[in-house]
Amino acid sequence: MDYLLTDEQKMIQELARKIAEEKIKPVAAKYDQSEEFPWEIMEILAKADLFGIFVPQEYGGTSGGVLDLCIATEELSRACGGIAVCYAASALGTFPIMLFGNEEQKKKYLPDLASGKKIAGFGITEPEAGSDASAIKTAAKREGDYYVLNGLKHFITNGGDAQIYTVIVMTDKTKGARGASAFVVEKGTPGFTFGKKEEKLGIRASSTRELIFTDCKIPKENLLSKEGMGFIVTMKTFDMSRPGVAAQALGIAQGALDVAVKYAKERQQFGKSISSFQGIQWMLADMATQIEAARALVYSCAREIDVGCKDVGKDSAMAKMFASDVAMKVTTDAVQILGGYGYMKDYPAEKYMRDAKITQIYEGTNQIQRNIIALQLIKEMAK
């Protein structure tokens, strides 16, 4: 299907695909096994200018948009969902600065993030504040020219490996969600440490750690926007990044389908390749169709954001939910098509299935996405 991509977007697709094929595929299983952070790949992506594709040119990027980021994330995920999320999570940590930073903050942080010299992370989730962001406990207390942070964020992607973090903490607990504020915290700041690295089912190349703040003093200049804007910063950031998770799911699904089709053509049973059996053919047809439908949804949603449509919440929730559900279904079917081999770690199918699962969970579980969609629907009907 032709998605009428711009020349720049086609270049991003070609470049990301090349890197995925030549550099990521050969090491995907290795990182899945070792759970090391894939610095070598991050360097390659940095040299290829891919970290800055959504950042304005004046800050060292190439002034693309959310669709550009989705295209890159999809292609990288096709080879390894874990490595791709290290890349996408840096974008997630960069968005708040890009959207809400003042000129000084943008000048200070964006060029290094756009060039990939530094990578970013985003911290909102806490042990007792997952889908319910208003339950955040980590607090920032103003002391003169500083804020002092105390508390703990957990399950933070790129945690410990990223150099720049945007975190959402409470500046006024009495105001609930309206008392949250967004801050930039740099790795190495005294009082800012990391917890143990989580062992995960999938996306194992990515690192997930706790961010621990113990009387961590940061300059007041690190506040993004104003006090109390934390919830807005988060919502706007997720609006931008949610299609990225959808694109990650899409890429994982496509990668699994690629594996399944190749295997079906090669695998001989009863004297024929199994791709000649209708049972397999129908599975492949369904997988491909679902992926294409997901892609149409993801790209359309990304385009809406890029042209500045308001109220994209429902559409981006639909894209994230649908693409991740498709990814789970398609990767499970891919394992089925590979049969016994699909279940073995020597073959890539099972990894896609493990990597797919998280896309139904993070950046708002698919249950939360359904809430968003339904609430918006009802709201529209009430008009």
Partner 1 sequence: MNIIVCIKQVPETTEVKINPETNTLIREGVKSIINPFDAYAIEEGVRLKEKFGAKATVITMGPPQAEAVLREAISLGIDDGILLSDRAFAGSDTWATSYALSAAIKKIGAFDLIVCGKQASDGDTAQVGPGISAHLDIPAVTYVKKIEEINPVRNTKAIIGEDKISNGVKDNFARVERMTEAGYEIIEVSLPALITVVKEINTPRLPSLKGMMRAKQAKIIHWKASDIEVELNFVGLAGSPTQVVKIFTPAPRVGGQMLKGETQEIVDRLVGLLKSDIP
Chain residues that interact with partner 1, rule: CB under 8 A: 7-8, 11-12, 14-15, 18-19, 22-23, 44, 47-50, 53, 62
Alpha carbons within 13 angstroms on the beta-carbon side of residue 216 total: 26
Cβ 16 to partner 1, closest distance in Å?
9
Report how far residue 180's alpha carbon sits from residue 147's, in angstroms, rounded to the nearest whole number. 13
Nearer to partner 1, 17 or 175 (CB): 17
Residues belonging to the chain? 383
Cβ 218 to partner 1, closest distance in Å?
33
Cβ 256 to partner 1, closest distance in Å?
25
Nearer to partner 1, 23 or 354 (CB): 23
What is the per-residue DSSP string for 110-138? HHHHHHTSS-EEEE--BTTBSS-GGG---
Q: Are 122 and 220 in contact (CB under 8 A)?
A: no
Question: Phi and psi (nearest 5°) for 227?
Answer: -60, 140
Cβ 13 to partner 1, closest distance in Å?
11
Cβ 347 to partner 1, closest distance in Å?
24
Nearer to partner 1, 40 or 311 (CB): 40
Nearer to partner 1, 50 or 185 (CB): 50
Nearer to partner 1, 18 or 220 (CB): 18
Q: Out of 143, 292, 363, 380, which one is annotated catalytic?
A: 363
What angle do the packed helices 66-79 and 81-100 form, to 10 degrees? 160
Cβ 163 to partner 1, closest distance in Å?
22
With a CB cutoff of 8 Å and minimum separation 6, the contacts of 268 are 274
Nearest alpha carbon to residue 92 among 222, 237, 229: 237
Q: Is 363 a catalytic residue?
A: yes
Sign of CA dihedral 249, 253, 258, 260: positive
Nearer to partner 1, 8 or 227 (CB): 8
In the chain, which ranges are E strands?
A: 120-123, 139-143, 146-157, 164-170, 180-186, 192-194, 208-219, 223-224, 268-269, 272-273
User: Which tokens in the block code for residue 213?
Assistant: 């703040």
With a CB cutoff of 8 Å and minimum separation 6, the contacts of 56 are 63, 98, 110
User: Which tokens in the block code for residue 235?
Assistant: 């919502």
DSSP state of 21: I
Cβ 52 to partner 1, closest distance in Å?
8
Report how far residue 125's alpha carbon sits from residue 131's, in angstroms, rounded to the nearest whole number. 8
**What is the Cα 145 distance to its own chain's centre?**
34
Nearer to partner 1, 62 or 336 (CB): 62
3-state secondary structure 315-335: HHHHHHHHHHHHHHHHHHHHH
| Catalytic sites, residue numbers | 363
